[in-house]
Amino acid sequence: MHETLALIGGATSLEPYRILNFITQIAFLAFSLVFIANLLKKPVRSPVWIWFVALCVGVWLWVSGRLMESIVYIFIKDNAYYVFAANYQYIGLSLSAATFFMWNLYVAGKGKIADNIAFRIFVFSVPVSVTITAFTNTLHQLFYTKLVMGEEVAHGPLFSPLIAAIYAELFAGYIIAIIDILKKREKIAIRLLAFSAMPLFPVIALTVRMFTKVDQFDVTPMVAAVSFFCLYLVVFRYKYVNISKASIDTIMAQTAHCVLIYDKPAKRFTYLNHISEEKYLLALTELAEGNEFAQHTGNMGKDSSVSWECTHGGYDFLITCIPYTGREVTLVTAIDLTEYNRDIKTLNEKITSLEKANKNLTEQSANIDAYISALHGTGNLRQNAERLESVYKNTNSVFKTIRENLISFTEDTDTDRQDALHSTNMKLASECLLEIRETIRGLQ
């Protein structure tokens, strides 16, 4: 992991190999920054792309820790800085293993597993545990019992289990990649070589250093560079890995509409996205087994599509079918209109009740007009006529307000504001009718 894995004599002197290590580490980190910057310029950012960038950052942090150690040996020569540099390397090392594992899940089309929050917490609990244990070692001595610059390291009881957890995640990602490669049988030799570079080259380099006690020239930057470049070429440049399918599967799992592939001869769906299986499986199975597809798609041309509305399993759907050229399968989208249709029905009921109230007000207004005309024909009921005139004006004002609210009601799409307008109109109509009845009762 770092230069304290073996006994180093004369560590505080300026050996030539440390200068060479310093140069190679600087070169790798500069190359990595340019490489990551170019990746960030890509307009399409799929989960495969995101986790590959995260993997690049993890390895960059690992090698930057190696550079810190070289700087300490060459320039600072202080044990406190050396301990920090040694611990810092484990951030990048453990993060690289976790992100490599997650990246391979997406490459293999296992995005549903990788998207699970609990699973992600489990995976990243390893780098968190390693980092916390390493940086708090002075309190408990569980990671190291001895870590002194230029002397052999003595490891604590938690060192081996935590390192084993890092390697477990690294090789779990590697195994997922190998299974996916053998299963798909596409460019097997090239893909096996490229995906073997990332876990095997660093492990071989670290193993040689640990067991041969050769801890001078640092091969980490070169091993990391070769591994990265192999993965980048095989996945992004030459596209020997079908990352489009992995990305599309992730997108389809997140969409709120049903996306399906319908096999005409078999009368069944051969593909259903996540929401289709989780929420609408019974309704869509009923749809597939009926005769609707044959009725609606029988005369569908090769370059045309057809849509219709139907009800199955208690759901209202808008079905759209697009044929695959030269195949007996159809791309199907199903949009759930159940809630939309229910809202339209409720809106129509409210409009009907408002129109009924408006009709009642109009009839009462006509009665008042006739009554006022009769009162004006008599000379002895001026006081009552004035009273009715006031009611008449008030009724017209209320009628006008209700009409304006009706216009706003039909134009507004917000359900809460529609309910408020409806309540206001009903209240105004009720109060106006009450005033009219009381006035007529008084006149009688």
Q: What is the pLDDT of residue 254?
A: 58
pLDDT tens-digit readout, 64-78: 998 998 899 888 889
Handedness of CA 312, 315, 318, 323 (dihedral sign): negative
- Over residues 90-119, the mean pLDDT reads 89
For 186-225, write each residue's pLDDT tens digit: 667 766 766 766 677 766 766 665 555 445 666 667 777 7
> Residue 249 and residue 47: Cα distance in Å, rounded?
11
| pLDDT higher than threshold 80 for residue 404 | no
Residues 161 and 109 in one domain: yes
- Same domain for 205 and 292, yes or no, is no
Residues 154, 32, single domain; the answer is yes
Per the CB < 8 A criterion, the answer to whether 357 and 425 are in contact is yes
Tell me whether residue 3 is in a domain. Answer: no
- In the sheet that holds 306-312, the strands lie side by side as 268-272, 258-263, 329-336, 315-323, 306-312
Looking at the structure, tell me whether residues 323 and 381 fall in a common domain. Answer: no
Residue pLDDT, tens place only, 280-327: 878 887 877 777 777 777 666 666 778 888 888 888 888 888 776 555
Same domain, 168 and 271: no
Confidence (pLDDT) at 157: 95
* Among 100-104, 234-238, 274-278, 440-444, the range of highest mean pLDDT: 100-104
Is pLDDT at 118 greater than 60 in this prediction? Answer: yes
pLDDT at residue 179 in the model: 86
pLDDT level of residue 5 (50, 70, 90 thresholds): very low
User: What are 416-435's pLDDT values in tens digits?
Assistant: 777 777 777 777 777 777 77
Question: Do the domain assignments include residue 341?
Answer: no
Report DSSP state, residue 379: S
Q: Is 50 a residue whose pLDDT tops 60? A: yes
- Could you tell me the pLDDT band of residue 95, with boundaries at 50, 70 and 90? very high
Domain end (from 336, 367, 394): 336
Per residue in 147-169, pLDDT (tens digit) is: 888 788 888 999 999 999 998 99
Domain boundary among 316, 336, 356: 336
Residue length of the chain: 444
Tokens of 13: 């002197």
Distance, in Å, from the CA atom of 230 to the CA atom of 242, rounded to the nearest integer, reads 16
Structure token pair of residue 147:
């870590």
Q: Are residues 58 and 191 in the same domain?
A: yes
**Any idea which of 137-151, 375-389, 419-433 has the lowest mean pLDDT?**
375-389
Structural domains counted in the chain? 3
d(C-alpha 349, C-alpha 115), whole Å: 43
Same domain for 365 and 273?
no
Does the pLDDT at position 44 exceed 70?
no
Instruction: Find how far residue 115's CA is from the centre of its chain.
Output: 8
Q: Is the pLDDT of residue 134 over 90?
A: yes
Q: Per the structure block, which two tokens stand in for 107?
A: 């490459």
| 3 DSSP 8-state letter | T
Average pLDDT value over all residues in the chain: 77
User: Is 71 in the same domain as 220?
Assistant: yes
Residue 120 or 283, more confident: 120
Q: Is the pLDDT of residue 229 over 50?
A: yes
Does residue 316 sit in helix, strand or coil? strand
DSSP label of 1: -
Helix, strand or coil, per DSSP, at residue 343: helix
Work out the pLDDT band at 235, boundaries 50, 70, 90: low
Q: Which is higher by pLDDT, 61 or 338? A: 61
Domain match, 289 and 394 both: no
Share of the chain above pLDDT 90, in %: 16
User: Quick check: is 327 in a domain?
Assistant: yes
**Is the pLDDT assigned to residue 133 strictly greater than 90?**
yes
* Residue 164 lies in domain: 16-249
Q: What is the pLDDT of residue 243?
A: 46
